[in-house]
Structure 1
């Protein structure tokens, strides 16, 4: 009989010669094996080039945003504070996955400890929920700034901004906490091989030889209810913003006011569209090729952290001017 891949028995990796349906000789694994992108193993090195490039841009861009906002006191405003919170969340999101993914692509380092896998799972999901919360907070800031500008400075004070940021962090941390706890309690007696490049929540729990409907329904609820509510409040905010913009007396005033929201709208689209597409294809696109689903799952972790600083750097005049001034002074 053809020898199957590896499993863990009594905590050690051993080759085995039995079918996957026979689960009596398996025990819970101490490590998992990440396959990377199944079906594209021969192209891993080539795939790593755009992945590494996007990761480098995300790291450089988000640290640049943090540096400029900290350096320039004129940018110490609610919008830029929320932007810094988003940048930190993006750094955590991309750094939680890319180093391990690149180690698979470059060094064939596929093993990951069970606890490390659950930790990675937690920080990925937590960062995604926090990203959504910070985007909602930024929409709130734009709503107050445009619809009630005279009260903007008194409504969104520094303590209020800090409380909103803390609430977003606590919401993400608490809502995602059941993910690793539920995943840890399931028995993994089929295989320890994860057909993915990182420990995505459902990719891990689907390996369990138990009824995982609690994990599945809970994660689906978080995905659609939490992010759905965030999108709903963002939409309500922008409906009110657009109504206020169209009531402005001149075309130039309308364009200028809408321009202040343009970068945020671009960031919202760049953040939610890849996530929604990946979630839908992963859960319902059973006829979609596995390697395509995994590529999309990597894209929604890489593309938004890369695009956020680029969009704000290009479209936000205050950041663009200070960035140009910084490089001009260094060049003199």
Structure 2
């Protein structure tokens, strides 16, 4: 197959592309290589992908709808894996227009390009987020009523889901949104807590713990994301739009994350408890019943194991 992967230089996009290349697919990677975090890490991911046969890369802005449509019509992918987005809850407080540019206009560009392929497109799979659920307790289910978003990032991700649902209704586009829950692991994003904490700990710097370290996140190891993602992508659902949670179903406090990192890295953390950050939710937890029922996947990597793998990679990458 020819598969277009947007955000191919990103964390999940890199791992998904590597997995698909390994089984012989042709990957057309697209990324704008923004400097939201270290571009050198993105380029290092691309270097790894370039080592595998079947990978080609195009640097362009996803919000450039003409360029995206032209690339799609030239390469004629049978599936699109749309993972490119402006990530991060806290950054949306400082750069709100980056989110509407990438996450709203960019998503619409992908939808229009997919529509131009007509019946040749078997499936469009796109990244959503656990942030669409807002502040709540219990296990988050896909059919839960969604309340008010607590961040602009969450609002743009919910907008993506609504736009995709509309395009399926209007044009019969086969689509699936994946609501990711705090994905972590090797080659991850430096802006995420586990990565930035590890860097600070090895430098002997103090870590700021929002909400005094009491926030709970449903950490999901990258391998537990890629397996269901590929199974969903391989499906050809017809003129249907659906969403699936992909999460570990085991919330962990930030304080416990720090303790796990201490054991994996062999250093003690210096911490400073601070008040909650605007836009953050205090708790996430995925119900993956639907994912298990339809695709036979249950994410199960323990945090201790996943962080140990990350720490091994992190030391190697940091010293390279």
TM-score by length of 2: 0.23
Flag the structure with higher strand content.
Answer: 2
Q: Report which structure shows greater RCO (CA 8 Å, sep ≥6).
A: 1
Structure number with the higher helix fraction is: 1
- Alignment TM-score, normalising by the size of structure 1: 0.22
